Amino acid sequence: MELFYHPLSRYSQKVLIALYEKQANFYPRVIELSDPISRQEFNRFYPPGKVPLLKNKAGMLIPESSIIIEYIDNEFSTGTKLIPQNHQVALNTRLQDRLIDNDFSNVLFELERQKLQEENMNQLLIKQLENDITKFIKYLDTQLEKQHWLCGDSLTLADCALFPCLYYAQEHFKYFEYDNLDRYWQQAKLRGAYQQVEEEVELAKGEVLAGRRPIP
């Protein structure tokens, strides 16, 4: 199995956390999204050109972080069960995963994009995006009131989606104002799979700063 990814891509980090939780072996294939040659080569191999992308042993290409995670959860009986057996809980897990991708990760991406505009920064839009994220953070805090992880007692696909967002948003949003979310975030940072991914992210960020790696 091969995973095509970039260490600074949130959707890639989501899949990496899942792979480590499953204790699944894979060959890492880093795609330098901002290097035209690396991107061209990847586009030839996979025209939509998006990471993460999984290539299974039979050569089948599996895109989309949530689908990759469902695939590996079915494929590997080892490690954490990421899609719960109970149908009701599984449905809620998929729902929370969708909400995190659409209402947190993608909004965060737009916020980061706006903030990079410098002279053309749209302050009104930035405020709106920040308000949307704050609203979502409050929603998460309520969800976590009675739950250890986002969808119950064990870690699921939804937590794999959430950890990378919380890592990026922590600089701008004060989690300590939200008791349940703060407790959850402290707990997430102690999880081995998360720590492994964070280490890779920090290393890649260091290389960007040192000019050794292009910024995605």
Ligand X SMILES: N[C@@H](CCC(=O)N[C@@H](CS)C(=O)NCC(=O)O)C(=O)O
Q: Do residues 81 and 106 lie in contact, with contact meaning Cβ atoms separated by under 8 Å?
A: no
- The Cα 194–Cα 178 span in angstroms is 21
Report whether the peptide linkage leading into residue 52 is cis, meaning its omega lies within 30 degrees of zero: yes
Size of the chain in residues: 216
- Copy the structure tokens of residue 196: 């492994």
Nearer to ligand X, 22 or 50 (CB): 50
Smallest separation (angstroms) from ligand X to the CB of 111: 14
Nearer to ligand X, 141 or 165 (CB): 165
Part of the chain binding ligand X (CB under 6 A), chosen from 8-16, 20-28, 87-95, 189-197: 8-16
CA-to-CA dists, residue 203 to 2, 135, 210, angstroms:
21, 31, 11
Nearer to ligand X, 40 or 86 (CB): 40
Q: Do residues 162 and 140 lie in contact, with contact meaning Cβ atoms separated by under 8 Å?
A: yes
Part of the chain binding ligand X (CB under 6 A), chosen from 7-15, 118-126, 167-175, 190-198: 7-15
The 42-71 site mask, x for binding ligand X (CB under 6 A), equals -------xxxx-----------xx------
- The Cα 34–Cα 8 span in angstroms is 12
Amino acid at the residue 150: L
Query: Using the 8-state DSSP alphabet, how is residue 30 labeled?
Result: E
Residue in 11, 20, 175, 185 binding ligand X, rule: CB under 6 A: 11
Smallest separation (angstroms) from ligand X to the CB of 160: 11
Q: Is 213 in the site for ligand X (CB under 6 A)?
A: no
Question: Taking each helix axis from N to C terminus, what angle separates 87-100 and 65-75, rounded to the nearest 10 degrees?
Answer: 150
Smallest separation (angstroms) from ligand X to the CB of 183: 27
Phi, psi (5° rounding) for residue 187? -65, -40
Smallest separation (angstroms) from ligand X to the CB of 168: 11
Nearer to ligand X, 9 or 93 (CB): 9
Total chain residues near ligand X (CB under 6 A): 10
Q: How many CB atoms lie within 10 A of CB 177?
A: 12
Nearer to ligand X, 82 or 178 (CB): 82
Note the residues at the interface with ligand X (CB under 6 A): 9-11, 33, 49-52, 64-65
